[in-house]
Amino acid sequence: MSPPQRVAAGSAFSISTTGSGQAVLYIVGPGQALRRNVQLGEAVSFPAGVLFHAGRYLVILAGPSTHTREMDVTPADQPHSLSFLAKPSRLPVGLQNGISGTAYVFDAYRNLVTTPLPVSFALSDQGGGASQTQTVTTRNGVAWTRMNSAAKEGSAKFVAQTNGVSGTRVIEEVPGSPCGLTMHATAAAGDKVDLQTTPVRDCAGNAVPDGTIVTFTETYKGEQSTADVPIKKGIAQVVMPAHIGARISVASGVVAGNEIRWGGR
């Protein structure tokens, strides 16, 4: 019995036999098993598409005597489809290496194509901004990369492509944390102070989304009062009790803004 040492997935192949009489041929491997009644001394032919799971197979010829051989089924060299994973699907602008992309290249039978192939990755701002590109050679059917998020908010298209097959994902890039947070204070009726931020933006100048919490803190004679206020129409505003000499500060998350010592004006 002489099976081929290596067969590409889905390809036609044949196994020659010697001797005379009847026998049964078995081919057993990962996810597949074939059985054929054979006439010894004749070749056993298998058409294309019969054996398609890549891996190592055991070939057994059971007749007057039993013979075994090993045979490898390899992935086809030509890619048929590509699975593309990108994460996260949403992230702040201006992050170095903040976006990762992984491409899995398959043949027509869903075997990973282990032949090294160049995969091109491209991340482009759908608003017409500059794009990032990188080409990576697959290893065992997989290629991966990292990209920076853009400086401006919006949707970005992330594409992986090789040999005519591609996958696309959309990444939402949102404003980052407030940057240069500042407020001003004015006297209000009833011994109150009106505190209002300037338009809140991130370090790239993108407007921070409404609903982001800004915290105002007033410290007076060892006592402290705070107010958590959501941004509305780009600013945060609150009215607090007015105490001459009080220290008033503003912050959003871990970002601290300016501090005012209230003097009554």
Q: What is the pLDDT of residues 135-188, one digit of tens each?
A: 999 999 999 999 999 888 889 999 999 999 999 999 999 998 899 899 999 999
CA 38, 40, 42, 44 torsion: positive or negative? positive
Q: Is the pLDDT of residue 129 over 70?
A: no
**CB-count exposure of residue 109 (10 Å: 0-12, 13-18, 19+):** middle
**Contact of 60 with 15, CB cutoff 8 Å:** no
Tell me the pLDDT tens digit for each residue of 13-50.
Answer: 999 999 889 999 999 999 899 999 999 999 999 999 99
Residue 132 has pLDDT above 80, yes or no: yes
**Domains along the chain with CATH numbers:** 6-74 (2.60.40), 81-174 (2.60.40.1930), 183-261 (2.60.40)
Cα(83)–Cα(44) distance, integer angstroms: 36
The pLDDT value recorded for residue 36 is 95
Predicted TM-score of the model (pTM): 0.77
Predicted pLDDT at 212? 93
- CA distances 80 to 83, 163, 179, Å, are 10, 9, 47
Give the tens place of pLDDT for each residue, 69-114. 999 999 998 999 999 999 999 999 989 999 999 999 999 999 999 9
More confident call, 259 vs 127: 259
Pairing mode, strands 6-8 and 66-74: parallel
pLDDT of 265 reads 60
User: What's the confidence (pLDDT) of residue 42?
Assistant: 92
pLDDT at site 56: 95
pLDDT of residue 127: 64
